[in-house]
Amino acid sequence: MLLSLFCGAGGLDLGFEDAGFEVGLALDKKADSVASYNWNRPEQGVAQTFDLSRATCDDIDTLYGSSFHPTAVIGGPPCQSFSQANVNQRSDDNRIKLPMAFANLVAGLHARSPLDFFVMENVIGLVKQKHLAKLEAVEKVLADAGFIHRRLLLNAADYGVAQRRPRLFLVGIDSKRFSDLDLSTLTLEPSAPLTVKDAIGDLPEPTFFSRNAALNAHHPNHWCMTPRSPKFSREGGVTPGVAGRSFKTLSWAKPSITVAYGHREVHVHPDGRRRLSVYEAMLLQGFPPQYELVGNLSSQIDQVSEAVPPPLAKAVANGVQRLLSAKRLDRAA
């Protein structure tokens, strides 16, 4: 049974669920993210709105009951402060504390009832020299708590996602119960590369946002902002390599660039005439076609931009599963 911290709309959890894990409790500060999570899991309803920045183990007991003893903790603390795309980084940004909040909760839970493992996802920028001390401080808390861990630097494009999205994963296991387990043997199975055309090439046109716009018949998230920039109205639309830095035009024949609607970037559909719809961004993140996000357009954009690509999460989950299963088989023998 997993505890999911900073669960967002459920991308990381979906990958672990697809690998055979069960989530018992999922927490996030944003109400729309929690609503999206539960909307797609109507029979479970395990996600709750909660500010994790100062959460304690007692808070977990209050939410779920003191009998809840997760076997592992997963999560992706919000990470814009560490992002290479964030040009307005501030050293006092509260979000730099969230990976530490994750580590402290994992340490506290492990002291109370030993965990098999933890997985923390974050941006690749954390391993850059100017942020490395913060990452090492988080790692020290986890090591002192009794975990051995490994950094995995992964790109979603290698694991069945039509998007180049480099990410950092910290994977840790209980150093006492798995003392003879070599984390360097943790392996992930890559998938065949996908292009933008593979992911969204057969979609109809989206609905353009307006106050009284009806839901798109194809999918409720297949909508986007009306193309107002004069760049969209030029003959041929927005051409890759010609538009300004903030306009990022996708190529049908390649994986997408990182889906991140913030940082003043406009992700342009390969035809050059409009932005991507929310649904197109979801598919480029590897969400299944039936998945839906709730909330207004701005909220949906945030949810999909901050999500962990489910196929990438599944690859990590499968790797952890294989590693621990081999150990359990050795014990049984």
Residues catalogued as catalytic: 79
3-state secondary structure of 311: helix
CA angle 8/13/14 to nearest 5° reads 110
* Cα 73 to Cα 58: distance, rounded to the nearest angstrom: 16
Q: Does an H or E element contain 99, and which?
A: helix 98-112
- Pseudo-torsion of CA 282, 285, 287, 289, nearest 10°? 50
Which residues fall within 8 angstroms of residue 45, CB to CB, at 6 or more apart? 38
The Cα 259–Cα 160 span in angstroms is 15
CA-nearest of 42, 35, 46 to 303 is: 35
E-strand stretches of the chain: 2-5, 23-28, 47-49, 72-75, 117-123, 147-155, 166-174, 207-208, 223-224, 247-249, 266-268
Let me know: does 303 contact 8? Beta carbons within 8 Å: yes
Element (DSSP H or E) covering residue 299: helix 297-306
